[in-house]
Amino acid sequence: MSVDMQHLAINFIALTDSGEHQAHYREALIGNSHAVANLVEQLHLAYNGKPAKGYARFNHDKSTRVFHALTDWKRSQTDFLGFAKATTDALVVELSQHQLPETGYLLLAHYQYLASEYLLVCLLGSKDHFELSEQLELAASRHLDIGRMQLAARFDLTELDVNADKGNYISFIRGRAGRKVADFFLDFLGCEEGADARANSLKVLASVEEYMGAAEFAGEEKTSARRQVFDYCEERAKAGQEVVLAELSAVLDPEQENGFLHYCAEQQLDVAAQFPVEVKELKKLVKFNGAGGGLSLSFDEKLLGERVQYDVKTDTLVIKGTPPNLRDQLQRFTQGYSAFDHAAE
């Protein structure tokens, strides 16, 4: 995989002693190099790997600096450095208004991957790394903390140009800090949520099961089909691409590649021709898992009815053949750990 690097701007947002946000601007763009392309590629992969994303569109009732700055840049009325400064200023204003203590390096990366043109906007923290020279001299260096990327959004500029009415051209990481962070980032960008990836995923789950029932798939065929559907959707999501219904139909039922496509239309299932998905929800196609009351269970869907039996009336699971490490723990506990210790002697 490789990205075609176009522009990269980095500014720093800090807190003053009085607790106010202040921006520090780099006076020039980061020059293109192999190292820069590698950095942006890592950012691209890290962003794609985030499981919970929202999708949005510009809200034209909100007159925001980001929208106007992006428009001016795309019309060549300003350069990328000017766009980056305006975006940084807008972020400082929103951070202050929402009273969030977030600081860090604001990266704006413009690049191409495959046939799409992207703009990634992310606020990253940093962490110190330490190294020793051959003379055992200690040195410290500061690294961008890409692994903890939480405040980030990506514009699909190609989608914005050719299919803006669809409204899925902005994606953002929902984050772990609750709804307030998502709201803050949407306000910063001047957009509103569009497609719901989680709702789409649940609709796929229900529609696929309905189709397999109507098409009278056998048990093993269902298991294989669920795995194929999950693998296809996971691959698309990791690549930052939407699921294409026609392709999904061919994956689900290769012998009738348009079978699922026609079924959705005939049954008026309201499945879009192309849509984003959330892999976390689609795992239900291939795995059962749950936790509560001190119990945590997880097993592959294909084991149900074979090694795992479920009685609906008594709400009882019977598992034949436990994992070796679990079996060892259970045997040691029930027989007494001392018995194993003496056997070893």
Q: State how far the Cα of 98 lies from the Cα of 102, in Å rounded to an integer.
A: 10
Q: Which of 143, 107, 4, 113 is nearest to 48 (CA)?
A: 113
What ranges do the domains of the chain cover?
4-193, 197-284, 305-344
Which residues, 6+ apart, have CB-to-CB distance to 282 below 8 Å? 201, 204, 205, 229, 230, 233, 234
Does residue 152 carry a pLDDT above 70?
yes
Of 341 and 31, the one with more pLDDT: 31
- Give residue-wise pLDDT tens across range 27-50: 999 999 999 999 999 999 999 888
Asked if residues 289 and 298 have their Cβ atoms less than 8 Å apart, the reply is yes
Tell me the mean pLDDT in the region 324-344. Answer: 74
Ramachandran bin of 263, using left for φ above 0, alpha for ψ from -120 to 50, beta for the remaining angles: alpha
Residue 74's pLDDT band (boundaries 50, 70, 90)?
Answer: very high
- Give residue-wise pLDDT tens across range 232-255: 998 888 777 888 999 999 999 998
Q: From residue 90, give the alpha-carbon distance in Å to each of 15, 83, 96, 139.
A: 16, 11, 10, 36
User: CB under 8 Å, gap of 24 or more: what pairs does 76-82 form?
Assistant: 80/7, 80/9, 80/29, 80/108, 80/110, 81/9, 81/28, 81/29
Asked if residues 57 and 173 have their Cβ atoms less than 8 Å apart, the reply is no
Place of tokens 């989608």: 159
| pLDDT value of position 337 | 61
Q: State how far the Cα of 197 lies from the Cα of 211, in Å rounded to an integer.
A: 21
